[in-house]
Amino acid sequence: MAPPVFRFRSRTQEELRIEGQKTFLRSPVIGDFAEWSRLRAASRSFLEPWEPRWPEDDLTRSAFRYRIRRYELDREAGATLPLFVCLKMNGRIVGGATVGSIRRGVAESCSLGYWMGEQYAGQGLMSDALKALIPHVFDRMQLHRIEAACIPDNARSQRLLEKVGFQREGYLNGYLKINGAWRDHLLYALIAEDWQSLRAKGPGSGE
C-alpha cells in the first residue's frame, strides 16, 4: 500500500498574520522545520520542565511533517489555531502559541498554550504576541472565554498571564501530565467583557 501523499502550504500561500508591536504570529508551514528544530533543540532543558514529555523523534523532519499535517487538519476542523511567534525585524521564529480546545455553542471558549525559545525569554516578546492574539480571539474568532493553565512553580508564566489581563480562577489537581508526571496547575481565564474593559482603559492597563 502506497504511503499517503500530504500536500503542504508554502509560506507564501499562508495568509494569516497577526501583528504585534515587536512580533507577529503566523501559521506554521513545512518549510519552518530547520529553524524550528534548531530553536527547540537549543531550548530543550529550558522547556522540558513545563511541557509534556518529548517523543524520541520529536525533532526529526518526519515528525515535523506529521505535526504540520495535524495542525492543518485541526485548523480546518475549527478545533485549534496553532501559530508561530516571529520577530518583526527579521521574521525569525522565537516561540509558539496555540489557541486550542475550541468549543462553540453555549461555551464559545478555548484554551491558550505558548512557549518561548530560551534565548528570547525575558524580553517581553510573548507578552507582545499575546496582546496581539487576544483581540484576534475575541474580535475575529468571536470566542467569549480564553483559559490558560500553568504549573504553580512557573512564576514567569503567571506573571505573563496577569500582565496581559488574565485572572486566576482556581487550582486544578493533577491536571496535566508534564514531563512524565501528573502536575497540579493554576487556572487563569480572560473573558471578552473584561478584555473590552481593559482595552477601553488604554495601553498598559493589563500590566
Structural domain includes residue 167: yes
Residue 5 predicted with pLDDT over 50: no
Nearest-10 crossing angle of helices 125-135, 192-201: 120
Give the model's pLDDT for residue 204: 55
Domain count, the chain: 1
Give the model's pLDDT for residue 29: 96
pLDDT digits (tens, 9 = 90+) for 141-186: 999 999 999 999 999 999 999 999 999 999 999 999 999 999 999 9
Q: Give the SS3 label for residue 183.
A: strand
* Amino acid residing at 170: G
Q: What is the mean pLDDT of residues 65-70?
A: 96
Give the model's pLDDT for residue 15: 79
Give the model's pLDDT for residue 1: 42
- Chain-wide mean pLDDT for the chain? 91
Cβ neighbour number for residue 122 with a 10 Å cutoff: 10
Structural domain includes residue 9: no
Spatial separation of the C-alpha atoms in residues 105 and 145, rounded to whole Å: 12
Structural domain includes residue 79: yes
**CATH number, position 142:** 3.40.630.30
Q: Percent of the chain scored above 70 by pLDDT? A: 91
Structural domain harbouring 111? 15-201
Give the model's pLDDT for residue 201: 81
Structural domain includes residue 3: no
Judge if pTM exceeds 0.85: yes
DSSP secondary structure code for residue 77 in this structure: T
Structural domain includes residue 7: no
Residue 119 predicted with pLDDT over 90: yes
205: confidence class by pLDDT, cuts 50, 70, 90: low
Residue 7 predicted with pLDDT over 70: no
